Structure formats: C-alpha cells, structure tokens
Structure 1
Amino acid sequence: MADQLDLNLLRVFDVLMDTASVSAAAARLHLSVPATSRALGRLREAMNDQILVRAGRGLVPTPFALASAAKVKALLEAAATLRADPAGPDPRTWQRTFAIRVNDGLVPVLAPRLIQRISAEAPEVRLRFVTQDSKEPDQLRDGSLDLEIGLTGPTPPDLVTRPLFSDHFVALVAAHSALGRAPALTVDDLCAYPHISASRRGLARGPLDEALDRVGRSRRVVAVVPSYAVASLIALEEDAICLVSRVMAQHLVERGVPVRWHEVPLDLPTVHVELGWHRRLDGDPASRWLRDHLTASVQPLVATLDPVSRRGSAAAPR
C-alpha cells in the first residue's frame, strides 16, 4: 500500500536501484544487511512488486522498478528542498547529485573538465551523466534531470536553452595507419577505406553519405556502434575512418591517444550544441552555479576550434 511508503524507505529503494545489491546498499546506507533486506521486503509489499529479482548470481530491477527509479529520485531531491536553504550558500557544504543528460560524443570531452571544476569547489557534490537515449523533455520537467547538453532543436515553451558552441565533424584515423601518415584526406580515401559509424539508433547513413551522393560517390560502412567513444577505439585498430566532432578529435589527440584527424573534403553541416534546463530552475542558485561552471569549462575548448569559415582548409594536427 502506498501509505506504507516514507522517505526513509524511498531512500532504500533509490540506493537499491543504484547498486542492485542488498549488501552494497546496506554499506552505503550504514545499515545491516538484515535490516536492508527487511526494508526491501517492506518495499515489495508497499509497491506490490518484487523490485529486485534474481538473475544468475546477482539481482536485477524489475520493469516496474526501472520505470519508478527516476520518479523516486525526483521525489527525494524535491523533499530535500523543503527546508529553507538546507545547505547554505557555500557549495563546499552541499551534499547533492546533479543529473546531466549529454550527447555521448561530448561526455569524454566535457565531463573531466566539469568534474575538475566542481570537485575543487564542492567536494561533496556528485555529477551523474545520463545517456541521451531520448531527447524527450519529461525528465527535465519532473526534476530527474537538471540539465541537458545536446544538439539544437525545437524548444518547448517551458524549457530554457543557451548556446554553448558550434562544431563540425572530422575524420578520425589511427596514427600508425596509412591515412594517419597522409598529409590530407581525399574523396577517394573516403570511398576506399572502411568506415565505423556511431549511432545510438543503429543508423549506417548520415550527412556524409548525403554529401557523397551529391558527387556521385559512396562509402563502405563495415560496423555501426552505439557511441562515438566505441567507434574511436575501433578506429585505433586498423585502417578505418570514424567521423567524430572536431572538439572530441582534438581532445583525444591532446590526451595522447594515438589518433590523427583530417578535415573532410566535402561540405558537412555545422553542429550547434546548446545547454537546456526547465524554466522553474532559471533563478535557482544551485542550478545557475552548475550552468555557469559548465559554460566556463567549455570556453577553453571553444577558443581552440577553427572558425567555420576555415573548415575544410585546416590540415590535421601532427
């Protein structure tokens, strides 16, 4: 019965969803394993669902539990705001989690820079990066997401957006490969070498194929993977081409990953990346603090990007 649920029990549910383990949840909650197991029993009775079920040697959430996890987290975070300024104005005293939905191609670039800034000023604040499986705004509306970082698109009236930067796609190749040693990339190279396509929807075609169609050419996609990070790792192994954003390619090179990037000798669309949040958080000090840190962490990256007017003429860095 729903009236059996209280905040303490919902906190147990939230940690069980994060850990999928009674013993791990007990350690995080500073409870004994039997006490946590009894709490799971009360949750099962109150929610009329098994919550966690045995799968091999571990436990997995039920479909109902998965569907409820974001709602419970939002309830807990909302309940934490019911006290007047519970943590005070100093971020060093905050103990909370910010959820950020971000395009997978930007996570390796933005996350480390943002984590470094946040950790220096608010050591007890945790950042939870959420996969952009969907662009639906419901999670921003119900509070389970604080921010979204992704490509521009139609904005509902209850959301606010801010431009972050504009970028374009380049061809990433292994540094030791023939293409990695080449001074530039040609259309013939694009058609002769295999491609690794990154698409969370499993699509093999994209803007590059449309650009090749316009000149009567085509490419050969040998694999489609769900993220740019995976595509980049596969491109390390052989003479293969992977299209990634210029900012991600530059990040990998700067971090010593043995890759090179070339400008694509065709006209590809410019990518506009923006930051989005729900209007109710527009004046919220904590949300504004997070947005300002994210914008500041992006600025050094933006400053190094080639102007769009120079796109197609810049040589790959060595």
Structure 2
Amino acid sequence: MHLDLNLLSALDALLEEGSVAAAAERLHVTAPAMSRSLGRIRRTTGDQILVRTGRTMTPTPYAIAVRQQVHGLLQEVRGVLAPCRELDLTTLERTFTLRWHDSLVALAGPTLLRAVREQAPGVRLRFIAESSIDTPGLRRGEVDLEANASRPATPDIRAEKVTEARHVVVARPGHPLTHGETVTAARYAAAEHITVSRRGRLENTLDEALAQLGLTRHVVASAPTEAAAFTFVRDGDFLATVPASAARSAAADLGLTVFPLPLELPPAAVFLSWHQRYDTDRAHLWLRDLARTALADAG
C-alpha cells in the first residue's frame, strides 16, 4: 500500500482547523486541492474525518481519537526531514505544554515566561496541573516538558536532574516549637503534621527517616499542594515539611515561620523530563535550556 506523507500534513491541518478552507489556507493550497486530499484521507482511513453540521464541520470520534497522534507523527517526520533547519526565534510560533509541580510553576514559571516573551514573542506556554495518577502525556505528545521530583522509569523518556533542595519546617508564628527549647527530632515527631501529596498519601520518605530513629510522627491530614498545606499551618498548630524553595513564599506571603528540619533527610531532587522524539528539535532544545536555567535558579 502506497502512503503519501502529504496526506499526514493535510490531515493534521484539517483536524486542527476543522475546516477545508482554513486548512487549505494554512498549507497554502487551494480549497479544491484540500477537498481532494480529504477525499483521499477518507478512502484511506475508511472514516469521514469531518462531517457537516449546519454551516460547520464536526470531527468524527475517530478523528478526535487520533488528533494528538497525527500531530506527534507529523512533528517526528519534520524532525527527520529537516533536522538542521535554523531556528528563528523572532518568527517562531508554537505552543508548549508543561506539566510541572505547582510549587515549581510558582517559583520558576514567571522567570521562564519572561525569558520566552523576550526571545520568542510568538511562543505560548500552557502550564497544566499534575494528575493524581500517572499519565503517559509525554509519550503521547500531549506534554512537552515535565518538572517534578519523579525520575521516569521508561527508556523513551529523557530525565535530567536540574536542581535539588533541602527540606525545612514551616509553622505559624507562636507555634510551641518556634520558641523555647531546642527542636529535637522527638519533639518534631510528636507535633501534628500536614503532608503534601497530590495522591493523598499520609506518609513519605520523611517517615522512613524517622522510623530509623525509632520515631513516628503524628500526621493529621494531607494537602494536594504546598499552598494548601500552608493555609492549614497558618490557622493551626500544624507543621509542614517542604523543600526550602517552596517555603520562601510561605514566609513572605503568609508570614509563617521557617526553621531547619531536626534530622538528616536527602535533598529533594527536581527532574526535567521530555520524550526522546524532541531530542534534536531545535525549538524544544531552546525551551529546555531556558527551563533548566529557571528551575536551577529557583532551587
């Protein structure tokens, strides 16, 4: 079976634009030529792709299901056929999707966006929230860059440690541990704690470190983000143990007290991850460099 790669470009444009005329304009071809391409795509796939609904065209369920896959395949083909094309940031128009931990968005997001706007005003960034379950967004081409504490285990996902942060303890001013006796690991464990977990976990590596000392901390709740945990801490005698970079906002914005963690705990690593299909993509390389710098500075 002979496959025309031009049909892939036509299909991508049709799915993105939802209109034969708009797709034709995007690819600089005539509307009749695009109509003929749509006819060939329909015969090849056995699906209508776009159907008329009143004055508009509506994608079929099949078209919706393959939209991201088609776009990803087209990007890979372009990367193979034009790997050495020079990147002109002043004319680059592209939208990047970034799934970052919320504290990293708050700390490094503004720096990254500022650098992007200065260098490539046609580029847009979509920061999306982390999911409570593992998602294959990088593999499916739905996410361009991830940044969090997890190192991906699959071989097709690249991961680079860009920074790390030591842990500190956040409490409200006037909390019993913020004055008086030295804060020991035992006094720390006996206090009431809020954990931070988007999956709602009540235990983490901190509890393993305490267990080695024969201690168990008193966890009363979990919060999905550091920002949410800080609101609990502000209004009660609770402790939140977070990376030092995340604690800066708590101290500055909420007037909370920050003090050292009274036990040894490995620093929290931050990994920047992407799919291998973007290894040589010049625009992606440029964005990775900016993201790497922004995250390292925040850490």
Instruction: Label 1:98 to 1:173 Cα distance change in 2 as closer, same or farther (>3 A).
Output: same
1:298 equivalent in structure 2: 295
Question: Structure 1 stretch 109-118 or stretch 71-80: which is displaced more?
Answer: 71-80
**Residues 126-169 of structure 1: CA distance to partner in whole angstroms, max 9, x if unpaired?**
21223332445x32223211112122535433232222012232
TM-score, normalised relative to structure 1: 0.66
Instruction: Label 1:275 to 1:215 Cα distance change in 2 as closer, same or farther (>3 A).
Output: same
Separation in 2, partners of 1:101, 1:231: 21
Which of 139, 142, 155 is 1:141 aligned to? 139
Instruction: Label 1:264 to 1:115 Cα distance change in 2 as closer, same or farther (>3 A).
Output: same
Separation in 1, partners of 2:115, 2:141: 23
Separation in 1, partners of 2:162, 2:210: 29
Do the aligned residues in 1 keep the contact of 2:90 with 2:121 (CA within 8 Å)? yes
SS in 2 for 1:99: strand
1:42 equivalent in structure 2: 58
Displacement, 1:214?
A: 2.6
TM-score, normalised relative to structure 2: 0.70
1:286 equivalent in structure 2: 283
Separation in 1, partners of 2:247, 2:171: 10
The correspondence of residues 86-105 of structure 1 with structure 2, limited to 5 A, is: 89-105=87-103
Q: Partner amino acid for 2:61?
A: M
Separation in 1, partners of 2:18, 2:270: 37
Q: Partner amino acid for 1:47?
A: P
Is residue 273 from structure 1 mapped to residue 255 from structure 2 by the alignment? no
Separation in 2, partners of 1:98, 1:74: 16
Q: Partner amino acid for 2:274?
A: W
Identity value in percent: 29
Superposition misfits of 4+ residues, deviation over 6 angstroms: none
SS in 1 for 2:214: coil
Displacement, 1:95?
A: 2.5
SS in 2 for 1:92: coil
Q: Partner amino acid for 2:111?
A: R
Is residue 260 from structure 1 mapped to residue 257 from structure 2 by the alignment? yes
Separation in 2, partners of 1:122, 1:180: 47
Q: Which has the higher contact order (CA 8 A, sep 6+)?
A: 2
Q: Partner amino acid for 2:67?
A: V
Aligned positions, number: 252
Which of 195, 201, 205 is 2:193 aligned to? 195
2:4 equivalent in structure 1: none
2:209 equivalent in structure 1: 211
Which of 194, 210, 223 is 2:221 aligned to? 223
Unaligned runs of 5+ in 2: 1-10, 20-51
2:67 equivalent in structure 1: 72
Do the aligned residues in 2 keep the contact of 1:119 with 1:125 (CA within 8 Å)? yes
Larger Cα Rg: Structure 1 or Structure 2? 2
What is the RMSD computed on CA atoms of the aligned residues?
3.4
